[in-house]
Amino acid sequence: MSSQTYSISDLARELDITTRAIRFYEEQGLLSPERRGQERIYSPRDKVSLKLILRGKRIGFSLAECRELIELYDPTSGNQKQLHSMLAKIAERREQLEQQLLDIEQMKLELDTAEERCIQALEQTIKGEEIAQ
């Protein structure tokens, strides 16, 4: 592993996120930079963790799920446990999205039915007014 380190502004710039977001992830225990006085020094592992958090967020993982994946990070084993866990989480997320798609389709059908009933009721009201005149 390289001995390169990063400042909070280096990571923010490189990963296109705010320093505030990085501090938030640190407060949540997802990152653990070294401290030199007030300065935070981030390792390559912190950078990998941050990338994993950002990727996880994009695909809908919770911070708890991201934490679980970060804890499994073990480059000495080729990250096999982490990768298997990630695959399981991806499959789970895909199932959730499929269910949400079905729920959305069902809701659209319900909206169509409600809309049709409203249109029919309006048409009957208008016809009733025309007959009354």
pLDDT, tens only, 10-26:
999 999 999 999 999 99
- Residue 122 domain-assigned? no
pLDDT, tens only, 55-83:
999 999 999 999 998 888 888 888 899 89
- CA 31, CA 18: separation in Å to the nearest integer? 15
- Residue 98 domain-assigned? no
- CA 131, CA 73: separation in Å to the nearest integer? 76
Domain of 58 in residue numbering reads as: 1-71
- Residue 8 domain-assigned? yes
For residue 54, the domain's CATH number is: 1.10.1660.10
Q: How far is CA 120 from CA 58, 107, 130, in A?
A: 43, 20, 15
Q: How many domains does the chain have?
A: 1
User: Does 2 score more than 90 pLDDT?
Assistant: no
Q: What is the mean pLDDT of the chain?
A: 91
User: Does 1 score more than 70 pLDDT?
Assistant: no
For the chain, what percent of residues have pLDDT higher than 90?
74
Torsions phi, psi of 29, nearest 5? 80, 15
